[in-house]
Structure 1
Amino acid sequence: MEPTDNDRRAPARYEPGEGCLTTAVRLPVRIVVLLLVVPVRLVWDALAALGRAVHRTALRPLGRGLAWLWRTLVVIPVAWTWRTLVVAPLGWLWRTLAVAPAVWLWRYVLTPVGRGIAWLVRGLGVGLLWLGKAVFVWPWVALWRYVLAPVGRGIAVVVAWLVRCLVVVPARWLYAAVLTPLGRGIAWLVRGLGTALATLVRWIVVVPLVALWRYVLLPAGRALAAVVTVVVREIGAAFGHCWRVAGIISRAVGRFLGTVLRWLFVEPVRWVYRTVLTPLGHGIRDGIWKPVRQALRTARETVRQTRQELRRALFGAPKEPQPAAAVPPRREPGAPGTRTLGSSTTALTKD
C-alpha cells in the first residue's frame, strides 16, 4: 500500500489567536472522527491494493483476450461478410436495376418531355397574361387614374377640413382650458397623499424593521454563523487530519504484515533455495548431468563411426571426386571476330 500525497503532507497548522470555542470543539471532534475514520481507511487501503492486484493480474489480460477473440471471431468475419456478400451484390443490383434505368429514363424520356411541356406552358402563360391585362387590368387602371383618384382627392380635402373644424379645434380648447388645470389639481392632491402615506409607512414599518434587523437579527445571525463556521471547519479539518493519520497507521500495518510474511515465508524459501537447492543442483549438474551428457556424446560418436565402417565394409569406399582438368589461361578470347594489328587473319599473340 503506497502512501499518497495527502498521506505524506503534514497536517496544516492553525493560525494563532483562535478563540476558546475552536479549542473546545477541536479535541473531541478529532477523537470521534479518528475512531470512525481509522477502520474505514484500513478497509479502503486493503480493497484498493486487492483491486489493483486483480486488475493487473486477471482483468487486464482477460479483457485483452476477450477483445482479441471478439475482433478475430466476430468483427473481422462479420465485416468481411458484410463487404463481400451484402454490400457489393446489393450495390451492383442497385446500380444495374435502379440507377441505370432511372438515369436513362430521365435523360432520354422525361427531360425532352419536360422541356416540351415547359415551352408549351410558357407560351400559354404569356398569351393568357396578355389577354388578362387587356380584359381586366387596363380598364380598371384607366378608371382609377382618370375617375376614382380625382374624386377621392376631393373627398379627402373636404373630410380633412370638417375633421379640423369639428374635432381638432374643440378638443384642443377642451384640453387647454379644462383638462390641464383639472389634471394639475389632481396631481398635486395625489402627491400630497403619497408623501403622507410614505411618511407613515416609513415610521411605522420601515424604521422598526431596520432597527430589528440591525440591532437584533444581524448580530444573532453573525454569532450563529461564526459558531456554525467553527464547527464545520473543525469537522472538515478533523476529517482531513484523521484521514492522514489513518493512512500512516494503515501504511504501518501494511509494512508490519509485509515484514511478517517476508520473515515467515520469503526468507525461509530463499534460505532453502540458496543453502540446499542451489548446492544440490550444482552437484547434480556436475556429478551426474555432465558425465551422462559426455557418455551420450561418446556413445553417439561411436555408433556413427561403427555405421560408417559397416557401410564401407558392405558397399565399399565412396569414389573420390575427380578434379577438373586445368585450362591454360588465354591472353585474348579466341572468337572469330578478334581484332588484329597488321593482319586481318592472325591475332597479335596466340596461346
Structure 2
Amino acid sequence: MTEDRPAEGCLVAAVRVPARIFALLVVVPLRFLWELLLAVVLRPLGRVLGWLAVQVGRVLYWTVVWPLVRLYRYVLTPCGHALARLLRTLVWAPLAWLGRQVLAPAGRAFRTALAWLGRYLVVVPLAALWRYVLEPCARGLWWLLTVLARGLGVLLRVLLVVPLAWLWRVLLYPVLREAGRAIGWAWRIGGRIWGFLVVRPCRWVRREVWWPAKAEIARVLREVRRALVG
C-alpha cells in the first residue's frame, strides 16, 4: 500500500488539469445549450403537446369509447347471456352427463392399468439403473469436475484477477475519479454561467422593463377608456 501512494499522487496531478480544461471546453457549452433548449423549445413544446393530448383524448372518448361502451352494455352483453344459456342447455349439460357417466369410470380404469404398467416396466428398472450405474458414475464425475474447477479458479486468480485489480487500483480508478470530478465541477460552472448570463438579465428585464411597461400600458388604457366612456 505504501508503494502505490506516490504513483497514484503523480498520476492524479498529471490528469487533473487536462481533465478540467477538457471539461470546461466541452461540458460548459453543453450545459449552456441544454438550458437554452429547455427554455426555448422543450418546455413550450411540452405545454402544446399536453394541450393537444387532452383534446385528442376528449375526441377519442366521445367518438370511440362512449359508443363502444353503449354497444357492449346494450347489445353484446344481452346477446352473450342468451348465447351462454343456449350453449349450457344444448351442449354443456349433455357433455357433463357423458363425462360423469362414461368417461370418468373409463378414465379411472385406464389410469390404474397405466400406473401398474409404468411402475413395473419403467420406474423399477430406472431406479436400479440409477442406483447401481448412474449414481457412482455421477459421483466420480463430480469429484473430477470439482478438482478441475479449483485448479482453474486458482489459475484465473493468478493470471487475470490479480493483474486486473492492480490495473484498476493504480491506473483506471484515479483517472476516472479525476475525470468525474472535473466534469462535475465544469457542470456546476456552466450552471453558474447560465444563471449569470441568462437568468439574471431576464429577471432584471422582467422586473425593470416588462412589469413597469405593462403597468403603464394598463394605466394608459384605463385613462383612454375613462375618457371615452366617461
Q: Comparing both chains, which one has the higher relative contact order based on Cα–Cα distances under 8 Å and sequence gaps of 6 or more?
A: 2
In our comparison, the structure showing a higher alpha carbon Rg is: 1
TM-score, normalised with respect to structure 1 = 0.33
Higher helix share: 2
